[in-house]
Chains A and B, each alone.
Chain A
Amino acid sequence: MKRILLILTTLLQLAMLVGCSSGAGEQPGDIYRKYASMPGLAVAQVTDFELCDTVSVDVVMLVADDDSTWQQIVAEFDIRSDSGSISWLAPIDQPSIRTSWDSDPVLRVVALPERRTVGIYRIDNEEQYDALLDYQLNNIHK
């Protein structure tokens, strides 16, 4: 019995090792890499941000340290407001461009000038699009 247990746990460890190795090659996306080296800008990519039990999305966050850096972001993303929040859909890897929803993957970009912050949510399918809306509706008054 112990031998069988030992063999099973060894196989389990090997399977986990293979699983970990396959994830080791995961890298941040193009948008993260584009902005990560920009001076005065804090950049993060949150992978698999859970919108509900079964749906998650990848998100890139940009936070400018100062007004000067924020003005560069404003110009690049064509943000035409100083207050509230602005949201639009954009083609993949082109977050500053406005587009409309179709079956292709898109980015949902949310800019919040008062916090000098831009959030870029990657949406690959309709399920993620719906889950993003549900997440907002379910959490907005909490």
Chain B
Amino acid sequence: MDMRHTMTDEDFDKLWQRAETEGYAAKLSQEYPMWRARQRRNTGMAAAIAVMLAVAIPALMPHHSGYGKVYCNRGDIAEAQWVSLTSEILMTV
């Protein structure tokens, strides 16, 4: 039975894992080359999603550093020092 057009990717993945576990994945791949192609496509897509989420999620996390950017005319003073000084000076008034 050809299930290429009826099976979801998730179901296909489960079936493929079962075939690998039970040792007939290679035989299936030989008999049905499209299965191997679909398995590769699914794996590639999962990897692409993982990479894109890994980039996107940290960028979407709330920014809690207490400041946006620091522009400075010197390289010898760290951003954190400037931010700390910005707060300290206010405390002196």
Distance of A43 Cα from B8 Cα, bound (Å): 60
- Are A47 and B68 in contact, CB atoms less than 8 angstroms apart? yes
Q: How many chain-A residues does the 8 Å CB contact rule pick out? A: 42
- Are B86 and A49 in contact, CB atoms less than 8 angstroms apart? yes
- Are A110 and B89 in contact, CB atoms less than 8 angstroms apart? yes
B30 adjacent to chain A (CB < 8 Å): no
Among B42, B48, B74, B87, contact of A139 (Cβ-Cβ < 8 Å):
B87
Distance of A12 Cα from B91 Cα, bound (Å): 41
Among B45, B70, B83, contact of A2 (Cβ-Cβ < 8 Å):
B45
Q: Total A-B residue pairs with C-beta atoms closer than 8 Å?
A: 110
Q: Please give the distance in Å from A86's CB to the nearest CB on chain B.
A: 9
Pairs A–B under 8 Å by Cβ, sample size 30: A2-B49, A6-B45, A9-B52, A9-B53, A10-B52, A12-B52, A12-B60, A13-B55, A32-B71, A37-B73, A43-B72, A44-B72, A46-B69, A46-B86, A47-B69, A47-B70, A47-B71, A48-B69, A49-B86, A49-B87, A50-B67, A56-B68, A63-B85, A85-B89, A87-B93, A110-B90, A110-B93, A119-B89, A136-B91, A139-B91
